[in-house]
Amino acid sequence: MPPFPGNVRLADHPGWVSCVAIPIHRRRKSGFACVSPMDDLSPDSALPPAGSAQDNDAPRQLVVCIDGTSNRFGDQPTNVVRLYRSLSRDPRRVLAYYDQGVGTFGLKETLFEWQKFPSRIAGLAFGWGLKRNVEGAYRFLAEHYRPGDQIFLFGFSRGAYAVRVLAAMLRAVGLIDAHQPHLFDYAWTLLTTRMPPRDEDKRAGTRRRGPDFGLLGRFRKVFGRQVKVHFLGLFDTVTSVGWVYDPLTVPYSSNNEMVDVVRQALAIDECRCFFRQNLWFGEKDRKSDVLQVWFPGMHSDVGGGYAPKDSRLALVAFTWMLGEALEAGLHVDPARSRDQLRARSKQGPDPTAPILPVMTRPWRLAELLP
């Protein structure tokens, strides 16, 4: 079992699944908010009629969905795609943004699978594409955010890390105005540049390297709008992007008081070193409602990406995440949500479904890398 902080408890959802949950501080009552395919999935009944004066003044939900490593829209949907498909299509209530995963960029002119390999390796080994993921989502928020809007962020694998970095940027530099997108590159440099250790750190015997937090604060005060992330939904975040020398780590990406609700589904059976889980450490932050739950299966059994007939385990984690997001107020289309729960395979969530083997020869060789 992967390491995790603190004690654990076995949390049973009546009727169909048992999971190990990390007991991090939560504001709401204990227990799960899971849904079944027959539940009423729509909170829209509590909303004012479309077109009413109350509706025109109502805050919107800005939803960002970033896919996993080498994942993009296709016939093998991830749970991030399923969530995107489930959203309400009323633009007065929901504006949604989807981006494909790290390791899929630079492939527009490729005709054959082998031609994609260099781009995938660059994404996997060096995190190439992370900045592009974050920048696209950040610009979407900068362009559309209005005071009172709720921000929902969803991601899988390194897409989950990307939305965590996005939330970290919002915490560190704020949200720049839509008419100043040219400031993003400088803000990114401020956040990711590692300054030499300070003299007092050297005297204390530490060699910590990080950004200039004073400069970040001044930038935020002058250029940034203060915004909060209402919901952060993560499917099996893997360890910091960049497997080769000196991987990128970003402050506030593991503990961020500007995030109200954090939910993470984790793969309890994953054994590959390149897919070590990246937990959210929220014990010291009592402002956030945090819950991380272990689900049966490997990485893609939790985040999706298999053919529909092999996705019954992934639908278990999807169902749980959808229920948690609904409890946080996410507006979904009930018919679309039910379609995702029984995709083209006509089979719903099944926690007893077989786990597909993942330790193929290439992955066995990869385990030998430092």
pLDDT in tens, 148-205: 999 999 999 989 999 999 999 999 999 999 999 999 999 999 998 876 655 555 445 5
Q: Are strands 229-235 and 150-156 parallel, antiparallel or unpaired?
A: parallel
User: In this predicted model, which residue has the larger pLDDT, 47 or 281?
Assistant: 281
User: In this predicted model, which residue has the larger pLDDT, 163 or 270?
Assistant: 163
Q: Which residues, other chains included, contact 29 with Cβ-Cβ below 8 Å and sequence gap of 6+? A: none
Which of these, 240, 59, 84, lies nearest to 155 by C-alpha position?
84
Task: Please state the rounded mean pLDDT for residues 103-112.
Answer: 49
106: left (phi over 0), alpha (psi -120 to 50) or beta: left
Going by pLDDT thresholds of 50, 70 and 90, the confidence category of residue 359 is: low
Q: 25, 295 in Cβ contact below 8 A?
A: no
User: In this predicted model, which residue has the larger pLDDT, 300 or 290?
Assistant: 290
Q: Are strands 61-66 and 150-156 parallel, antiparallel or unpaired?
A: parallel
Each residue's pLDDT tens digit, 2-40: 444 433 333 444 333 444 444 444 444 333 333 343 344
Each residue's pLDDT tens digit, 125-156: 555 678 889 999 999 999 999 999 999 999 99
Please return the burial class of 254, using the count of CB atoms within 10 Å of its CB with bins 0-12, 13-18 and 19+: middle
> According to the model, what pLDDT value does residue 313 have?
87
> According to the model, what pLDDT value does residue 35 have?
39
Task: Please state the rounded mean pLDDT for residues 112-130.
Answer: 57
3-state secondary structure at position 96: strand
> According to the model, what pLDDT value does residue 230 have?
98
Going by pLDDT thresholds of 50, 70 and 90, the confidence category of residue 311 is: confident
Each residue's pLDDT tens digit, 61-70: 999 999 986 5
Q: Which residues, other chains included, contact 122 with Cβ-Cβ below 8 Å and sequence gap of 6+? A: 103, 128, 129
> According to the model, what pLDDT value does residue 70 have?
56
User: In this predicted model, which residue has the larger pLDDT, 229 or 352?
Assistant: 229
Write out the E strands in 268-338: 289-295
Task: Please state the rounded mean pLDDT for residues 312-321.
Answer: 91
Beta carbons within 10 angstroms of residue 12's beta carbon: 12
Distance of CA 335 to the CA centre of its chain: 24
First to last CA, the chain: 21
Bridge partners (DSSP) of residue 63 are 96, 152
Q: 38, 304 in Cβ contact below 8 A?
A: no
Q: Is the pLDDT of residue 103 over 70?
A: no
The secondary structure of 210-260 as a DSSP string is B--HHHHHHHHHHHEEP--EEEEEEE-PBSSS--SSS----TTSS--TTEE
In residues, how long is the chain? 370
Which of these, 127, 141, 129, lies nearest to 169 by C-alpha position?
141
> According to the model, what pLDDT value does residue 168 have?
96
> According to the model, what pLDDT value does residue 16 have?
39
> According to the model, what pLDDT value does residue 19 have?
46
> According to the model, what pLDDT value does residue 239 have?
67
Distance of CA 40 to the CA centre of its chain: 25
For domain 9-46+57-366, give the fold: Rossmann fold (3.40.50)
Q: Is the pLDDT of residue 322 over 90?
A: yes
3-state secondary structure at position 264: strand
Share of the chain above pLDDT 90, in %: 41
> According to the model, what pLDDT value does residue 227 have?
97
CB burial of 127-156 (b: ≥16 within 10 Å; e: otherwise) equals bbbbbebbbbbbebbbeebeeebbbbbbbb
Q: Is the pLDDT of residue 345 over 70?
A: no
Going by pLDDT thresholds of 50, 70 and 90, the confidence category of residue 97 is: very high
Q: 348, 342 in Cβ contact below 8 A?
A: yes
Task: Please state the rounded mean pLDDT for residues 228-256.
Answer: 79
Which of 87-91, 192-196, 242-246, 346-350 ranks highest by mean pLDDT?
87-91
> According to the model, what pLDDT value does residue 367 have?
54
**What mean pLDDT value characterizes the chain?**
75
Task: Please state the rounded mean pLDDT for residues 105-126.
Answer: 52
> According to the model, what pLDDT value does residue 365 have?
58
> According to the model, what pLDDT value does residue 151 have?
99
| Least confident residue range of 126-130, 316-320, 350-354 | 126-130
Q: At what angle do helices 184-192 and 130-144 cross, to 10 degrees?
A: 130
What tokens were used for 94? 């929901």
Write out the E strands in 71-149: 94-99
